[in-house]
Structures are given as C-alpha cells and as structure tokens.
Amino acid sequence: MSHETDSLLSSAAQPSGALQGLKVIDLTRVLGGPYCTMILADHGATVIKVEPPQGDETRDWGPPFREDGESAYFQGVNRNKRSIGLNLATEEGKAVLRRLLEDADVLIENFKPGTLEKWGLGFDEVLSKTYPRLIHCRVTGFGATGPLGGFPGYDAVIQAMSGMLSVNGSPESGPVRVGTPMVDMGTGLNAAIAILMAIVERSRSNQGQFLDITLYDSAVALLHPQGNNYLMSGKAPVITGNAHPNIYPYDTFKCMDKEIFLAVGNNGQWAKLVEALGAPELANDPRFTDNRNRSENRAEVKSELEAKLKNFKCDELATELLKKGVPAGPVNSIPEVMEHPHTLHRQMRVSDGNGYNALGVQAKLSRTPGSARRPPPFFGADTREVLLETGYSDTEIENLISNGTAFIQRQK
C-alpha cells in the first residue's frame, strides 16, 4: 500500500507489550468476546482462539472477502491470535481444554449460560478448585438469572430492548439502530477492563474469580445522559436527532459545502464561535446568553448560525474553530476518515502489505506499546503447534485430528 500505515512487525511470533506473559484461552465467537481478546492480544497476551469444527461464523460474514475467502468482519477483530479447531462436545475435546487451562491465566467464553456446567467445567464446582488462579470471564446476552436470564443476545436486539434505539434517530426517522455495533464492542471493552481488574486483584490474593459480563448491562450502562436524565426528572427522553438533549448548540449545521458538527459546551466557546462567524452580537443576545437559554431556543440558534455558516467551507472553518478552542468537526465519510492525515499519523490503520488491512491499536502506551504483529489466523492454522506445546506427542496429535477431536480444516 502507498499509505504510511502501521505495517505488521516481521517478528510475528514474538509477543510484546504490557500483557506479555499472560495466557488467554479464548472460546468466544462473533464480536464482543473476540474484540476483547484482540485488545489483550494487541498488548502482548498470548491468545489461543479455540474454534468449533465449523469455525467462527463471522469468517463467512460478508462481503467483503479477501481472495482467500476470509471476511473483513472476522479479520477486524482477530489479529495477533492463534487458532486451533476443537470439538468440545466430545470427552476428548474437553480433556484437551483442561490441558490448555493448566497454565492459563484467563478463560473467556460466550456460550449459553450453563453450557460449561453441563460439560462438567463449571467455575464454582470445577474450574475454581482445579485452577485456583484462573480468571473465568463469561460474556452473554442477559446473564444466567433474572426474567431474561439464559436468553441469547445480539447487538441490535439489545439496542432495541435497552432503549438505545428509542433515543437514536430523528423525529422524522423514528428509532434507528446505532450504525456501529456499540453494544457488542462496549461489552468487549467491559470484559477487557474486568479481566485487567481481576489480574490486578489476583496479584494481591493469588486467586482467580468469575466475571459475569452481559450485553444488556453494557447497553444500559451506556444510556448516559438519557437514562440519568429520566431517573432525575421522571420524564421520558425523546429523540433529538444529532442534537444533545442537555447542551446547545451541540448539533450538525449546514456550511457552504457540507455539514459541520458544533459542540459548544459553555459561554466562552459560544462567544468564540459567533465571533469567528462574524456575528459577535449574538454572544449578548438575551435568547442565547447561557446554555439554558440556548437549549430552550434551539430553532433560533440553528437559524442564526446556519445563516452565517453558509458563507464558510466546512473543513477550513472546523480547523479554524479548533484553533480557537471551539469543538467542531466536519461530518466525514468512512473513506475520508481512513485517508485522513491524522488517522495515518496516529497509526490507526494497519497492513501487512499482503492483503490484511484493518483498524489500528487504540491504546498508546509509552514504554510497552501494543502492536499488530500477525494477521488473523486461518482456521486451525496453529492446531498442531499449540497441542505440541501443551504436551501432546506428534502421534497423539495426529490421532486427535483423525478421530474428529481436533481440526485443521473447517467442517461444513
């Protein structure tokens, strides 16, 4: 590629970063769990992705697909991991998993609640006693108990059930799904944070623990400020489009060429904005003297601002406002963001120069930086190697593959 992207390191097999030495057994599929474990892997954890015989179904979620058939969806959240295929429905498969857990720090899975218990691998009964330092993180839709306990959960459904849709969209559109899977990814972030907290606590107690992370909890926790507004006022929030329910102007506005987003949170920013637009008198207009007045007179604020903004080109104005300390930015498309000089400067694109192109590592640590070291694995690419490291002989490994316990190719 011709762009100055953060190329993958050539020493692909050598993990480095703040979590170097941490071993994670990853039984998750789809998005929330894999996103969590990619964050851990980006920062040096050894992540072994244990896939069922059919593989992680997101390998098929496309287009787009690479020439080798791998989907962008799967590629986006599974780098820096190794993959083994394992049939955990068999006793031999469960025995392999137990061997993998002997020196593991973290087990993360997103099976239906009760699955590991049914397999004789429940945390309280077995795992905590056999592997006392193991941190077991379970990611589910609703948890195991309560009125919705045990039900499956998917991002868009949880967006709807949690009230997120009810505050997203415009009065004209009605409730709209948030375009990016914020519930899944927020849950992945929560899982990663919980795992890191449990690791810190384990350094004091020398004990592992069970982490119960759900999409529903994550979605409800993201209902700020609307959820908290309701809890204080008792009034149901309404859809406000791009506008903030508590602050104004905090909305999109039309410029000469495209829309700009203004996020004016205080009177000082308001004064700087209207001065930059050549209308300093608006700073003292009694309709707009403080945030309460501006919020109560939103239509007038929008009308006054757009009358001035039509004389400005969006990108140039946004840069000028940022220099003056006024939060503002153009409403960019995804291609514009991917090609933006700041995206490249921040190394938020990665490539191996051989067909793998994805988003970069978001958390920047000074001494122990994370990195994209190796592209996402093909299904079962590391089955033999991981089993050999786990103590199986070559003959035992071939037997496990031939008898349908371990896999190096996806099963249909």
User: Kind and range of the H or E element at 294?
Assistant: helix 291-296
Amino acid at 344: L
Q: Which two tokens stand for residue 382?
A: 């590391």
d(CA 236, CA 226): 8
Q: Give CA torsion, residues 316, 331, 42, 102, to 10 deg.
A: 160
Torsional sign, CA 170, 175, 178, 183: positive
For residue 89, give every residue at least 6 positions away whose Cβ sits within 8 Å of its Cβ, in sequence order, or none: none
Strands in 27-123 per DSSP E: 46-51, 81-86, 106-109
Q: Would you say 134 and 128 are in contact if contact means Cβ atoms under 8 Å apart?
A: yes
Q: What is the DSSP letter of 236?
A: P
User: Kind and range of the H or E element at 407?
Assistant: strand 406-407
Distances (CA, A) of 98 to 32, 119, 244: 24, 12, 50
Q: What is the DSSP code string of 56-80?
A: -GGGG--S-B-TTS-BHHHHTT-TT
Q: Which residues pair with 115 in a beta bridge?
A: none
For residue 75, give every residue at least 6 positions away whose Cβ sits within 8 Å of its Cβ, in sequence order, or none: 66, 356, 358, 375, 376
Of 105, 155, 184, 217, catalytic? 184
Separation of CA 249 from chain center = 29
Q: Which two tokens stand for residue 316?
A: 């140039």
Within 13 Å, how many C-alpha atoms sit on residue 92's CB side? 16
Q: Give CA torsion, residues 119, 120, 124, 125, to 10 deg.
A: 160
184 counts as catalytic: yes
**Mind telling me the catalytic residues?**
184
